[in-house]
Structure formats: structure tokens, C-alpha cells
Chain A
Amino acid sequence: MNATLGTAFVAIGLSASVAGLLSVAWGLATRSPVFVVRARGWVALLAVAAVGQVAVMERALITRDFTVAFVAEHGSHRTPALFNVATLWSALEGSILLWVLILVGYVVLVVRRFRHRLDDPVVGWTLLVLFVVCTFFFLLLAGPAFPFTRFEPWAGYDGPGPNPLLQNHVLMAFHPPVLYLGYVGFTVPFALAVASLVTGRLGEGWLLEARRWTLMAWGCLTVGILLGAWWSYEVLGWGGYWAWDPVENASFLPWLTGTAYLHSVMVQERLGMLRVWNLSLLCATFSLTILGTFITRSGVLESVHAFTESGIGPMLLGFFGLVVVTTVGLIAWRGDSMRTVGSIDSPVSRTAAFLVNNLLFGAFAFVVLLGTVFPLLVEAANGDRISVGNPYFERMTMPIGFALLFLMAVAPALPWGGTTGATMAGRLRWPAVAGAASMVLALGLGSRGWAPTLAVGLAGFSIGGAVRQLGMTVRSRGLRGLVGRSSGGMIVHIGVAVVAVAFACSSAFIRQAEFRFDQPGERAVFAGHELVFEGLTTVELSEKTEIRVSVRVDGRTYLPAISTFPFGSQTIGTPATRSTLRDDLQLAVLAVPDERSNTTIVRVTVQPLVAWLWVGGAVMALGTAFAAVPTTGGRRRRGADETVEGSPEGVTV
């Protein structure tokens, strides 16, 4: 019954998207807004379908309805309840269901937000683009990613359960939905950008809308990426959290262009410049989410966490082509008429700093994209198979990272117009002192090598700069000044600097060793910690068999384990981590005794400051939330088109 019901919901969803698309298109073509307004009904139907199909699939997963092939292939009686729900996004078809649910959720929010302005052509075009995207994803569900294929299980059939790696940590239940909230969220600013390009209405009110939707998506993407890093750190046990894997890069690329947009949009608000550039950034961000999805799900690049392949690749590539042709065409066609005259007064001004910021983020995105697709380009050129590894990414992105940290310290102190050296010296004095002090502190604590020390110094510099800005705001407006976009932005800066320090130090000062133990009671000393091997215990759980290795470190017992899942004979490790603000100690079991040897091998990883990655991420999320709260300037319920087009007057904070 679930399969039938699910199929019905997919059909309803596809029909509603096509009907909505046609209705809005007809309304726009004949200039009859009533057809656009009517789209509300189709959106409601879309919502019913999107919620319905996910509910049906979750019901099938929870009740282990193996007549649905997706459940038979990925569900199991042995999977614990939480992971049973999360099984939805552990495989291709279910992940598209989640995608569609979030996409339709955003469409509902858009319709709600613009409910009084549905007859405005900008809203009409926005809805049209959203319906096109919805139609595409429902086509995926109806075609190559159809989730409700039937299966005939025999009596006593039990499925294999989701990939063991995905049912080993609670973060798996949260990382994909949050990541998708960000990823899919970029659809709305993209739709607004296309609508602006088509109608030629670039009033700064629309800009504010696009910025707000982007900020929301960006915040979720930030948290989603960091949750993913945290998950891989806790689950994989190799002491790392970021590997420049194509799938990771796919989520990082839109983050980079989205970040560039959030900065350059301020130039447009203030001076009316860079309009076409900003729209291009929004289009690029959305295109990169589609390209990233193609890379992740088509099997065109080999990756550790790519999905199983299916016929979804060509359709995604085709859609990417459509997006590129549409946006490039629109920008080429409309771009020139939207240009604004304006120039940068001074090379030492905040405007100039934003331009440099955009150049750096653009370069960063280019470097990551090139590194991701380079193996394919080389193979296309001469048939060689190469892989681009960490050294490329580290070498290429490190200077950009340093430059961005520096800019993060200096730019907030720069005025919009020109400035003098003396003014800047005054403004940057305390941040510079903070930077120098943090470098001295780092050296005192044992930092060696120029790169991590410089990273700490620059991070101290930019935290100093951000704190100075926050301090001035609080002094003039009290604690309430902390809420709002500029203060929120400064808080995000602090989070970024914290993440940068954690990243630099944890990767530069990682210490790792493997120890072999034969008998309980054997001891080893590593990085100032004493390890005592206490023995093994075997625990049988419903979904897996765990061999726990008991190791006493500094008087506390840790139980890293190796788990064997009965189906698929996969063996995966469950590391044990002791996390403090100073450093992390992680134990991972590499081998347990078997017929051939009696040796247990344990890998010990000691890394400083890892916990600060997650702290920094939380600070970034907090800052984003603060930045999303409208300040008094924005709260004046501006009509979207209130600002006269071409007016350099924007919303000031």
C-alpha cells in the first residue's frame, strides 16, 4: 500500500508543479496576474505531495515494509529507530525525496512571504523559476530516482540496513538535512536573481530580499558543512575532518560564492554598484549546487561518499546546462542595461576591500573547482588518470586563506570613502596588538613553523578588529546593538577566525602513532599520555557485533571498538574520543586478534584545538542568526520596490 500511496504522491507532485508552471507562465505571458495568484493552490498541492511522499517513505521504513524496494534495499529490522528514520537520506532516491521536501518548503515560504504581492511580475517570475526547479526534481523522482519501486519479499525477509558508516553516529541524522537546507535554500535567491534580470527591476528592496534568503541558506550550509566535518572526525577515526573529497568540495563551492555575495551585496546597497556581478554570484551559487549534485550522484568522479550510480547523471547535467544557458543568456542580454556608473574613490576604502574580498573568494572557488574537475579534464585531454590530492588544495588555498584573514581584520575598520594612514593606524592599533600578542602566546605554547603561527596571529588580528567594532557598537547603542547585520557579521568573523586557528593548529600539530598490544597490562607512552591495554570485550547488539578494546589513558578507560555488521560483512571502526578545549585524544582500533595473530593494534591521535572547530562553527551560526534579525532600518516594512531604481541609496544599518 505504501508503494501505491507513494507513487500517487509523486504523480500529484509532478502534476502540481507542471500545472503551477503553466499557470504562472500563462499569467506572465498574457499579463493576467490572476493566473499567477492561482499558483497558490498548486503550491498547496505541491506541499501535500512533498510531505505525503516523505511521510509514506518514513512509514514504510519504520514499519519495515519490504514491499517497497527502497526499504528492502536499505532498511532492516535490526536498524535502531533513529537511524531507521535517517535511512531516508542514506541512499539516492530517499535523498531526492528529502531534497524535494525542503525545496517545496522554501516555495511555501516564498508564497507566504510575498502573499500580498503575488501579482507583481518579479514575484511571478520568481515563482516561475521555482516551479521549473520543482518540476525538474519531480521528474527525477518520477524517472531515474523513482523511490517507490515494488519488491516481493518472501516470508522472513530482512534487508541489509543502511550503509554501516551511516548508522554509526547520531550526527548522521542531522548533517544531511541541515546541509540540504543550505544547499536547496540557494534556489530562492537564484529565482529572485533571474526574476530581477528578466524584469529589469533591480530595486534595492529586491536586493534585501535576496540577501535575506541567501543569509538563511548560507547559515544552514555553514552548519551543515561543519556537522559533516564533525561526523567524519568522530566516525572515521583518522584524526581528520576535511579531505578535499569531491563531495565535500561540492558543498564548499556554493559556500564560497555565497560568502562572496554576502559581502559584495553591501557595496550595491551602499553605492548601487556591482549589480550585475551580484546577480551573477547568485546564479553561480545555484549552478554550483546543481553541478555539485551532478558530481556527487552521477559517478563521474570517484569519491569516498558518492551515491550509487543511476541514470540521474545525464538529467542533472542537462539541467545544469539549462541553468548555465539561461543565466549566461540573461546576463549577456540584460547585463549592460543594468550597469551603474560608479567607480571606487580610493584604493584604501571599504569598497576596495570588498572587491579584493570578492577576488579572493572567486579565486578560492576557482582553485577548488579546478582541483575537483582537473582529473576529468586531464583524462579528456590525454587519457591519463590522475588524482588531485591534499597537497594541491593546501598549497593553493593557504595563501588565499591568509589573505582573507588579513582582510577580515582590516576591512571592517576601513571607511567607505578614502582614508589616511594616521586614521587607519589609530583604528588598527589594538587589533594589531591582539594579533601580535596571540602570535607570542602561540610561540610560547609551543607553536613551531611559520604557517600555524601566522594563522594564529592573523586570526588574533581579525578577532581584535571584530571585537573593536562590536565594542564601539555596544558603547553607542548598548547590548541591543549586538543584534543586526553588521554586528552579526562581526560575530561570524570571530567564528571564522576561531575555525581558522583550530584548522591550522590541529592539522599542523597532529601527532599520531600506532601501538601493538598482545597482553592485557601492556603499557605505552605517547605525547605525554600513558596508555594501558586492559583487554577486549565482545558485545552483541541487534544490528552489529562490537569488539571493544579497553585502553586506560591517564587514568580513564576508553572503549574504541570495531563493529561487524552481519550483512555485507563490513567491518568499521568506532573511535573513542576525549575532547577538551586544549586538545583531543582519539583512539581507533586498527586490528583485533584473529586466527593468525594475537595482536591488537590501536592508533592514537593527539590533536590540539579540534574542539574549537565546533565552537567556531557555533559562533558563526549565532552570528548569522543575529545578522538575520532586521535592524530598525530594515524593519520599516519597506515595500520591495520602494527604492527608486538606480538610486544609490540603500538600506543603511
Chain B
Amino acid sequence: MNPIRMTALAVGLVLGLLILVFATRDTSRDRMTTHLVGAVAPAVVGVTLDGSEWDLDDQRGRWVVVNFFSTTCVPCIREHPELVAFAAAHAEADDVRLVTVAFDDSPSAVAAFFARNGGDWPVLTVDTGRVAVDWGVIGVPESYLVTPSGHVAAKVIGGVEMDELDGLLTRAMAAIS
């Protein structure tokens, strides 16, 4: 075989392997999802919009979706109807609860947002920065699924869809039982 052809094929082979490596890598987004998964969920304690205390520890024995959000983030606004639908679908069975932690937002804006767009689950607004730091939130929206034993089962960066959450929940339930 002539040298040019051999060199070309060798270069092609190396680049092919490189492409293979690239193609099989998780993106950094996927990698970030593994950060808290499996660990005990950090504390989520705060005051809800209606002024009552809320503590994640009180929810032991239940599945909880912890959602970080802000009224000024477009993906959060887009995912909101999905969360409303998810909450409605699970309202009767009460097999999973939802809590929203409003990140760097004013309580009045958050209250107005929920009044306008629906959603009757607890929303924490005051001094939520600490919670977000403990959970390692990089940017809203982020959502976490917490098991009845208080462990993080899954993390979703970016807007969620109802089906996606249901899928995560079903898989996590199956994994535990």
C-alpha cells in the first residue's frame, strides 16, 4: 500500500477512535446529575408563602420532589405547567409531594406568579440562598427526587416534564422495592 494511503487511513483510524470517545462521553450536564444522587438530602427548612414552617424532615416516609425555581427564568416558567400537571396527577394518590424553593426572588413576585399560573404546593421564599448552596444548585431550574428515607434519588438540571418526573419516580420506586 502506498504511503499516502497508509498515512491517511491511520489518521482516519485515530480520528475515528477520537469520535468514538466523544460519542460515548456523558456531557458535563449528565455528569453533574450524579453529584448528590445516593447521598442524604441536605436540609430544606423555611417559611412558605402562607407563613407556615416547612421542613423536608417532616416528609420522611413520602417521596418528595424538591424544585428550585425563579420567576425570572424562562425555563422555569416553561416547566411550571408540567409541575402543575404532575401535582394534579398525584394529588389523589398522595404518593409524592412537591416543594418549590424560590431562588433569589421576592416573595411578592413568587406569590403573584403562583396566583397567576397555578400550583398549590408549598413554596419557600425567604432566605433560600443557603438551601440552594447546600444542594449545590448551579442554575435554576433544578429538580431533585427525594426517597421516603430522605436520600436523593435523582437530579434534573433544566426544565422538567411531567412524563420525565413520572419516569424517574417509577424507576426509583422499582429500585427501592
Contact = CB atoms under 8 A, between A and B. Distances in A.
Interface of A: 69, 72-73, 151, 154, 158-160, 276, 280, 287, 294, 298-302, 309, 313-314, 317, 320-321, 324-325, 328-329, 331-333, 335-336, 339, 373, 376-377, 379-380, 567-569
Interface residues of B, number: 26
Contacts of B8: 280, 328-329, 331-332, 335
A294 B21 CA distance: 13
B21 A377 contact: yes
A328 B15 contact: yes
A622 B26 CA distance: 44
19 contacts: A69-B74, A158-B72, A280-B8, A287-B15, A294-B22, A298-B27, A300-B28, A301-B28, A309-B27, A309-B28, A313-B27, A317-B19, A329-B8, A331-B8, A335-B8, A336-B5, A373-B18, A568-B104, A569-B104
Contacts of B29: 299, 309
Contacts of B12: 324-325, 328-329, 332
Nearest to B24: A380
B39 interface: no
Contacts of A379: 25
Nearest first, the 6 A-B pairs at minimum CB distance are A328-B12, A335-B4, A299-B27, A332-B8, A73-B74, A331-B8
Interface of B: 2, 4-5, 8-9, 11-12, 15-16, 18-19, 21-25, 27-29, 72-75, 78, 104, 116
Contacts of B24: 380
Contacts of B28: 299-302, 309
Contacts of A69: 74
A320 B27 contact: no
A550 B2 CA distance: 70
A438 to B, nearest CB: 40
Nearest to B104: A569
Scoring A158, A276, A331, A333 by chain B CB atoms within 10 A of each residue's CB, the highest score goes to A331
Contacts of B5: 332-333, 335-336
Contacts of B21: 373, 376-377, 380
Contacts of B75: 73
A359 to B, nearest CB: 15
B79 to A, nearest CB: 13
Nearest to A299: B27
Given A331-B4, A336-B5, 17 more contacts: A154-B116, A158-B72, A160-B72, A294-B22, A298-B22, A302-B28, A317-B23, A324-B15, A324-B16, A328-B11, A331-B8, A332-B12, A335-B5, A336-B2, A336-B4, A377-B21, A568-B104
Contacts of B15: 287, 324, 328
A104 B148 CA distance: 56
Contacts of B22: 294, 298, 300, 317, 376
B19 to A, nearest CB: 5
A615 B18 CA distance: 38
A328 B9 contact: yes
B19 A320 contact: yes
Nearest to B21: A380
| Secondary structure class of chain A's binding surface, majority of residues | helix
A298 B12 CA distance: 22
A373 B18 CA distance: 9
Given A320-B19, A376-B21, A332 B4 contact: yes
A377 B24 CA distance: 11
Nearest to B13: A328
A335 B10 CA distance: 14
A145 to B, nearest CB: 16
A302 B138 CA distance: 14
B141 to A, nearest CB: 13
Contact of A376 (B4, B9, B25, B74): B25
Contacts of A324: 12, 15-16, 19
A72 B4 contact: no
B19 A160 contact: no
Contacts of B23: 314, 317
A331 B10 CA distance: 12
A569 B138 CA distance: 12
Given A294-B22, A376-B21, A377-B21, A567 B72 contact: yes
B113 to A, nearest CB: 9
A471 B57 CA distance: 81
A129 B15 CA distance: 21
B148 to A, nearest CB: 31
Contacts of B11: 328
A253 to B, nearest CB: 13
Contacts of A294: 22
A26 B34 CA distance: 51
A294 B19 CA distance: 11
Contacts of A280: 8
Contacts of A373: 18, 21
Nearest to A313: B27
A530 B73 CA distance: 45
A300 B25 contact: yes
B125 to A, nearest CB: 14
A339 B5 CA distance: 12
Most A CB contacts (10 A, CB to CB) among B16, B72, B78 go to: B72
Contacts of A568: 72, 104
B4 A339 contact: yes
Nearest to A314: B23
B16 A276 contact: no
Contacts of B25: 300, 376, 379-380
A297 to B, nearest CB: 11
A376 B2 CA distance: 33
Most buried by A among B4, B16, B23: B4
Contact of B74 (A151, A321, A335, A377): A151
A320 B78 CA distance: 33
Contacts of A159: 72, 74
A274 to B, nearest CB: 12
Contacts of A332: 4-5, 8-9, 12
B164 to A, nearest CB: 15
A69 B78 CA distance: 10
Contact of B4 (A276, A313, A321): A276
A288 B18 CA distance: 13
A335 B7 CA distance: 10
Contacts of A300: 22, 25, 27-28
Contacts of B16: 321, 324
